[in-house]
Structure 1
């Protein structure tokens, strides 16, 4: 389904005439040609149509991709199912490497790095380690882009462990500012919370406790809205872990873990156990 066809569907579903939708935006004939796929219009005009129909841009693209799943989106959605076995992960990695070889598109390299990073943590998975050239290409790409959008922010967040701590510290305030330009948009807020969580884990690894305390304060502030409840559970878990490590107290993360399980986040609960074991083992 093309964009024009989808705009027509959304318009007719809402019983809005072409005249009403196009008034003050475009001519009726231009809208008709766009809907019939015989003309193109710019993205600003599409945004005006969506605003008039009270449709958020995220909702629009979600519906668009439900009809027309791009190769990139298809591979991105397959990520979770690909890690169920070494065979599936290897097949997925081979597909990504083939696409990257053909296109040289950083998107495919980003997924290559992610699947390798996940596989390294899984027993009996042998996909090969992330090599320096792959890390360098990710870093070079991010350094070339002055204004980061969601893709770059998500890439930086998910690849955070690839970068040296000096670079992470240098980038920290700028990355926070980049996120806050999109304050109020849920998917950016979720990505910001994940960025802070990943940063806390890395600071525990570096035993940088002052930084952990600062990050915990930010995580608390960014999860005040109950829409980000899972992030607040992470805050509670990390705060207790911080108290345990710094104050040499016995750690009990069972409440946070049980809460996640009760809410159906079994994968997150297992992740908490892994984090707890790794950090406490590293500090004994």
Structure 2
């Protein structure tokens, strides 16, 4: 196993049709690079990054090849969880929960296994009202998030999926803290999207519970982030939540704007996300009908 990174490095170098000398350049000797590829010796982190840069290869690309042309386990796990939630696949979620329980039992000293189990339980609770997350687990999760000074991809994922467990006051505190705790990583495209998704989830909960002032605070922050046009999904959801805010603030015509956002998602065949918005719009229409009868 110790030889594997060097072998992968060699595969990438040769696929680029580059010699040892071209990659080594002035950063590392040809002999050192050759020994690394053969698994005889290691390489400093600085030299490794510079060699990747010389080959025009990103760290993510190296990791992708290193993982046998597949996503890392944590990304596969988070993607599977999101897919199961959007499709309301309770059976899949229960299976994932049991797997997390098993890993937690086998590795009691590893926090991430317990945190993963709590998050899966939280997502299950969003799909099944009868399922609850214990107060002890919520405290463990919040204590962990408060203890981390710089939130990376994992912490953002934890918080985004646990938004429904927390009070509005806690959400406001965490979301504000999150903005300051992601300074190291917020320019990474994947993290930027996670931060935006988390804020939209917080906004949604705040609007649902009529905490409109808090919702507007984070909507204003989102407006100032200048979402790239290529992030079409996030732009649609932002439009939707602005309309949702206006509807709750008393502008009944905003419901049509929400429906227009839903139509766009359905046209783009984003049925999982669309289904969630469809249920929300249907509930609002029932509320409007009931109020008109009174």
Q: Bin the TM-score by the shorter chain.
A: 0.7 to 0.9
Flag the 1:42–1:151 CA change in 2: closer, same or farther, 3 A. Answer: farther
Residue of structure 2 aligned with 1:121, choices 118, 126, 129: 126
For residue 267 of structure 1, report the CA deviation from its aligned partner: 0.8
Q: 1:168 to 1:89 in 2, by over 3 A?
A: closer
Q: 1:213 to 1:82 in 2, by over 3 A?
A: closer
1:32 aligned to 2:34? yes
Tell me the residue number matched to 2:259: 254
SS at match of 1:227: coil
Aligned to 2:27, the other structure's residue is in SS state coil
Structure 1 residue 101 and structure 2 residue 92: aligned? no
Which of these residues, 177, 182, 185, is aligned with residue 179 of structure 1? 182
* 1:235 maps to 2:238: yes
Higher-RCO chain (CA-CA 8 Å, sequence separation at least 6): 2
Cα distance in 1 for residues equivalent to 2:175 and 2:83: 32
Q: How many Å apart are 1:246 and its aligned residue?
A: 0.8
Q: Paired residue for 1:23?
A: 25
Counterparts in 2 of 1:280 and 1:6: CA distance versus 1, 3 Å: farther
Q: Counterparts of 1:257 and 1:120 in 2: how far apart (Å)?
A: 24
Q: Is 1:64 matched up with 2:54?
A: no
1:110-139, Cα deviation, whole Å (9 max, x unpaired)? 33223222222335x97x421122222222
Task: Report what 2:269 is aligned to.
Answer: 264
Shift of 1:174: 2.8
Cα 1:185/1:137, change in 2 over 3 Å: same
The separation in 2 between residues aligned to 1:217 and 1:276, in whole angstroms, is 23
Partner residue of 1:41?
A: 43
Superposition RMSD in Å: 2.8
Which residue, 203, 208, 211 being the options, matches 2:206? 203
Q: Is the 8 A contact 2:123 2:161 kept in 1?
A: no
- Decide whether the 8 Å contact of 1:106 with 1:138 is kept in 2: no
Structure 2 length normalisation: TM-score? 0.83
For residues 216 and 132 of structure 2, what CA distance do their matches in structure 1 show?
A: 32
In the TM superposition, what is the alpha-carbon distance from 1:78 to its structure 2 partner? 4.1
Q: CA deviation at 1:29?
A: 2.2
Unaligned runs of 5+ in 2: none
Aligned to 2:153: 150
* More off after superposition, 162-171 vs 151-160: 162-171
Verify the 8 A CA contact 2:150 2:184 in the aligned structure 1: no
- TM (normalized to structure 1)? 0.86
Contact 1:4 1:35 in 2 (8 A): yes
Q: Is the 8 A contact 1:22 1:49 kept in 2?
A: yes
Q: Report what 1:138 is aligned to.
A: 141
